[in-house]
């Protein structure tokens, strides 16, 4: 059951990231993330009374708050990366970093990594190098984006790396909560991330009056992301964290498919190989776990 929940979470995360990337290509990051996080918070707040009773401790709530801050930053950076770069590149690189975080934490705690896990991490590094190669001829994304950054590596690559680290920390923090806490840590997490970006948007004096082309994908994406978070949290309470996290990190698959179908994104041969290796790396890490 935990494996199925992890795979469901991965599919939903990918769809949410696609919608978030679309919205962020049309507006500023902070307001988009605020609306997305807020919609997810409202969805869980309305649903929570219908769920089984829970008894969260102060530690559970603190872990939830920490997860919210890390996850909010990770999602914000990811949406920014998806807006300025190729979804088929930004999403896999971010996922690789998120997968490696639990493995590194395990090493620090004295855990010995299986050979398959080490092999997967090595392939992941190779994948990042290949994905970092510039595309030859034409824009990387099929759709003209609002921001263009001229550099040797693909746009959004550095943002994706930092985003993956933040998402990995989110996964670790949320997994520290107890089963008895129910969904309360997730509610605190979403509340903290919503407040974080709302204050950021107000500080930057960013207006919130947008057309449906921005608000709709942000709201729907935020709701889908919340369901993905709930599935992930339930999966961690029924399976080994490294395995669950790496399965959830397969989420770029649905992002890439949606970007290919709706945005007609194209990649160079080396970038295509890098993306394939990224998925192979995740699978090997799962097998090792």
Whether the pLDDT of residue 38 is over 50: the answer is: yes
User: With 60 as the cut, is the pLDDT of residue 138 above it?
Assistant: no
pLDDT digits (tens, 9 = 90+) for 245-255: 878 877 877 77
Tens digits of residue pLDDT in 46-66: 999 888 888 999 999 999 999
Mean pLDDT, residues 142-150: 39
Phi, psi of 134, rounded to the nearest 5 degrees: -65, 145
The mean per-residue pLDDT over the stretch 67-74 comes to 90
In angstroms, rounded to a whole number, what is the distance separating the alpha carbons of residues 271 and 266?
9
Please give the Cα distance from 176 to 40 (Å, whole number). 21
Specify whether the CB–CB gap between 146 and 74 falls below 8 A.
Answer: no
Record the pTM.
0.79
Interatomic CA distance for residues 145 and 125, integer angstroms:
28
Domain boundaries, the chain: 2-288
Report DSSP state, residue 155. T
Average pLDDT (28-43) is: 87
pLDDT of residue 140: 38
pLDDT in tens, 167-203: 899 988 998 899 999 999 999 999 998 888 888 778 7
Q: Is the pLDDT of residue 144 over 60?
A: no
Q: What is the mean pLDDT of the chain?
A: 81
């Amino acid at each position: 059951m935990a494996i199925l929940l992890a795979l469901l979470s991965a599919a939903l995360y990918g769809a949410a990231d696609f919608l978030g990337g679309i919205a962020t290509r049309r507006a500023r990051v902070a307001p988009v993330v605020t609306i997305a996080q807020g919609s997810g918070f409202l969805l869980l707040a309305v649903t929570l009374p219908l769920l089984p009773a829970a008894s969260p401790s102060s530690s559970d709530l603190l872990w939830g708050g920490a997860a919210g801050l890390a996850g909010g930053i990770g999602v914000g950076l990811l949406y920014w990366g998806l807006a300025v770069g190729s979804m088929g590149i930004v999403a896999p690189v971010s996922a690789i970093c998120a997968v490696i975080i639990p493995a590194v934490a395990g090493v620090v705690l004295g855990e010995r990594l299986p050979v398959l896990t080490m092999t997967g991490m090595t392939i992941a590094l190779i994948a990042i190098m290949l994905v970092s190669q510039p595309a030859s001829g034409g824009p990387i994304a099929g759709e003209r984006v609002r921001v263009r950054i001229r550099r040797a590596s693909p746009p959004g690559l550095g943002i994706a790396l930092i985003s993956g680290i933040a998402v990995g920390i989110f996964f670790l923090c949320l997994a520290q909560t107890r089963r008895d806490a129910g969904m309360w840590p997730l509610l605190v997490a979403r509340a903290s991330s919503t407040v974080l970006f709302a204050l950021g948007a107000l500080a930057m004096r960013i207006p919130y009056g947008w057309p449906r082309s921005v608000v709709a994908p942000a709201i729907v994406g935020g709701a889908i992301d919340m369901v993905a978070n709930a599935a992930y949290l339930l999966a961690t309470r029924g399976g080994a964290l490294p395995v669950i996290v790496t399965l959830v990190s397969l989420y770029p698959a649905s992002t890439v498919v949606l970007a290919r179908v709706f945005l007609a994104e194209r990649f160079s041969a080396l970038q295509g190989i890098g993306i394939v290796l990224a998925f192979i790396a995740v699978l090997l890490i799962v097998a090792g776990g």
